[in-house]
Amino acid sequence: MSKIRVRFSRGEAVKFISHLDLMKVFERAIRRSGLPIDYSKGFNPHPQMVFGLPLPVGMTSDCEYADFTLAEETGTEEFMQRLNASLPEGIRVTAAAVNNSKKNIMASIRGAEYLLQIFTNEVLSLENVSAGLENMLKCESIKVGKESKGKDGRRVLRETEIRPMILKAAIEPVRVLPEGYEGFGSAYLIKAELKAGSEANLRPDLFLKAFAQQLGTTADAVRMHRSALYSEVGGAKADPLDKACLS
């Protein structure tokens, strides 16, 4: 028996599939590939796969992670090649390593970095949006409304404190507008580092909601991309595929 951790990307073609559907995609790909995945015991055995932080629907990523437990020893290169040959367009395994850690990837994630493109019909100057972001980051408290399920199952809006989960943020203009976005008055790229994982997790849409509140406007369109997920070793950021995270 062995364990392998992989990094994979999710492109435009698959950005609207849910986390549950993603797991089904990998389950089918594993079956087609013939890789010796290990299965859980009991009446309803399922493949031993653990995925990292779920990616919100509508977002692309270069840095998704998953752990696989195999019933037989399999080389990382062979694992990547056979799995990639069975995955659909838009999902690509880009790296793999033997995983000897007792902590799975879901429990390991501590932070995430995002590239957030916002487009507004209103013309906003770089000076104004930069000042708005700077003023927001100076706040000791930032609260936004977050939808959640109440005791009766209905959706309720509750105020959530997000300031401690915003680690870094910077803004710059979008120099070249993507196809289909040429008609907007303003376009900006925010690079944000946010807490992520089981201990504390801030969704990028809530961060953008707080920023829009600060500016007193709305983002008429948004493109979101996750550029990094990281663990921590000795209080320092670490790639989940670093040796220190796998031993």
Distance CA 212, CA 129 (A): 10
Q: Which pLDDT value is given to residue 91?
A: 98
Q: 2-108 has which CATH code?
A: 3.30.70.580
User: What pLDDT score was predicted for residue 141?
Assistant: 96
Query: Does 150 have pLDDT greater than 70?
Result: no
**Higher-pLDDT residue of 154, 52:** 52
Reference 68, options 110, 33, 43; nearest CA is 33
Q: Does the pLDDT of residue 228 top 90, yes or no?
A: yes
Q: pLDDT confidence of 156, banded at 50, 70, 90?
A: confident
How far is Cα 39 from Cα 156, in angstroms, rounded to an integer?
Answer: 38
Give mean pLDDT, residues 188-205. 95
Mean pLDDT of the chain: 93
pLDDT at 152 over 80: no
The predicted pLDDT at position 82 comes to: 97
Reported confidence tier of residue 13, pLDDT bands at 50, 70, 90: very high
Q: Domain residues of the chain, as ranges?
A: 2-108, 111-232
Q: What is the pLDDT of residues 79-95, one digit of tens each?
A: 999 999 999 999 999 99
Count CA atoms closer than 13 A to 85's CA, side-chain side: 11
Architecture of domain 111-232: 2-Layer Sandwich (3.30)
Mean pLDDT score, 123-133: 94
E strand intervals along the chain: 2-10, 49-51, 60-70, 91-98, 111-120, 143-149, 155-161, 166-173, 186-195, 221-233, 236-238
Mean pLDDT of 94-114: 94
Token representation of residue 146:
């977050």
